[in-house]
């Protein structure tokens, strides 16, 4: 399949659940200067299912707030509207992922957790947004799987057979990698650039036109979470590290040890969280 053909098909993605209608309404509201978190929260809270999903996500350990967040407007104040919007836009995609690829789901949650911890260590502003970028960094893989299942299957199988990285096979077989695919979708959904670039450039962070620090963090967090063997990101190998990106992070040994310790704790909590979600699914099925 040709790269252009794929780009074209992404414009009319069929197989993924459509964006909740609430998204366009929220987009309109946000451009209005006087809109408050309380007002936005009230609109979102009209949808109870969405609200409960949202609160579950914001209270999960990868954001790591000590107190429980119990209202949407509170979540908007604490996490910022970009994060809430991204969680709403991608909530149906995460449902698809939980059902079809629990390994990738765990990889994504793990990367989100690591990214948030690294961002905090580096003193980056709004670390929750960086976490969210980690959460959706492999968006392209989910889309590929849902929209072109045969091609996806072929890529995964070939990667395993030839012992290659998945994205090398993507480039060869499809002419486009999951980073670029994810970027296209994220842009189509009007996600902010601070989230779009890290998705698009997480495997070549130094090409990131802006927010190179966030792209570097996602790049490194993907490596750490694969190194630990948490979840499954499509192939089993630790990807190469971009050293220029690393120079933006450069944690020392002590800080790295600390990171591993904090991460270990949170990953154990995450496992409780994913079990919980699966339990909910069974109960509602």
Partner 1 sequence: MQRIPLKLAQPGMVLAKEAVTSEGQVLCGAGTTLSQEILARLAKQEVLTLTVEGHPVSMPGEKTLPEKLKELDLRFSKVKDDPVLRALKTLIAEFWIIQEKGEDFLKNLKKGKAG
Check residue 274 and give left, alpha or beta (phi > 0: left; psi -120 to 50: alpha).
alpha
Rounded-to-integer distance, Cα 226 and Cα 236, Å? 7
- For residues 96 and 85, give the distance between their C-alpha atoms in angstroms, rounded to a whole number: 18
| Residue-level length of the chain | 285
Q: Which stretch binds partner 1 (CB under 8 A): 19-27, 147-155, 207-215, 230-238?
A: 230-238
The span of 15-23, 106-114, 123-131, 225-233 binding partner 1 (CB under 8 A) equals 225-233
Other C-beta atoms closer than 10 Å to the C-beta of 200 total: 27
Find the largest Cα–Cα distance for the chain: 56
Candidate residues 128, 147, 213, 222; the one interacting with Fe ion per rule CB under 5 A: 222
Give the residue with the Cβ less far from Fe ion, 7 or 204. Answer: 204
Question: Do 126 and 133 form a contact (C-beta atoms < 8 A)?
Answer: no
Lay out the site mask for partner 1 across 204-223 (x = CB under 8 A, - = otherwise): -------------------x
- Residue 115 or 223: the one with the smaller Cβ distance to partner 1 is 223
Q: How far is the CB of 61 from Fe ion (least distance, A)?
A: 19
Cβ 228 to partner 1 shortest distance, Å? 6
Closest CA to 232 of 127, 115, 97: 97
Contact between 236 and partner 1 by CB under 8 A: the answer reads yes
Distance CA 208, CA 191 (A): 16
Task: Specify the residue, 86 or 108, whose C-beta has the smaller distance to partner 1.
Answer: 108
> Interface with partner 1 by CB under 8 A: which residues?
66-68, 165, 223-224, 226-229, 236-241, 243, 246, 253, 256-257, 260-261, 264, 268, 272
């Amino acid at each position: 399949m040709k790269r252009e053909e794929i780009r074209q098909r992404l414009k009319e993605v069929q197989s993924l659940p459509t964006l909740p209608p609430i998204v366009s309404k929220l987009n309109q509201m946000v451009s209005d200067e006087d809109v408050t978190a309380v007002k936005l929260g009230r609109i979102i809270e009209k949808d109870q299912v969405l609200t409960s999903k949202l609160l579950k996500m914001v209270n999960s350990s990868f954001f790591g707030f000590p107190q429980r967040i119990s209202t949407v407007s509170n979540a908007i104040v604490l996490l910022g509207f970009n994060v809430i919007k991204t969680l709403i836009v991608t909530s149906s995609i995460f449902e698809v992922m939980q059902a079809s690829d629990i390994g990738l789901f765990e990889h994504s949650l793990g990367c989100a957790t690591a990214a948030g911890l690294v961002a905090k260590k580096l003193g980056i502003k709004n670390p929750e947004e960086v976490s969210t970028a980690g959460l959706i960094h492999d968006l392209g893989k989910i889309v590929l799987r849902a929209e072109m299942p045969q091609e996806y299957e072929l890529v995964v199988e070939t990667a395993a057979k030839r012992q290659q990285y998945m994205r090398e096979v993507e480039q060869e077989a499809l002419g486009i990698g999951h980073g670029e695919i994810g970027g296209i979708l994220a842009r189509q959904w009007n996600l902010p650039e601070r989230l779009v670039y890290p998705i698009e450039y997480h495997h070549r962070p130094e090409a990131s036109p802006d927010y190179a620090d966030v792209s570097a963090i996602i790049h490194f967090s993907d490596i750490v979470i694969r190194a630990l063997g948490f979840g499954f990101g499509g192939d089993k190998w630790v990807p190469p590290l971009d050293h220029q990106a690393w120079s933006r992070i450069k944690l020392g040994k002590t800080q790295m040890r600390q990171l591993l310790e904090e991460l270990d704790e949170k990953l154990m909590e995450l496992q409780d969280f994913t079990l919980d979600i699966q339990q909910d699914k069974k109960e509602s099925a």
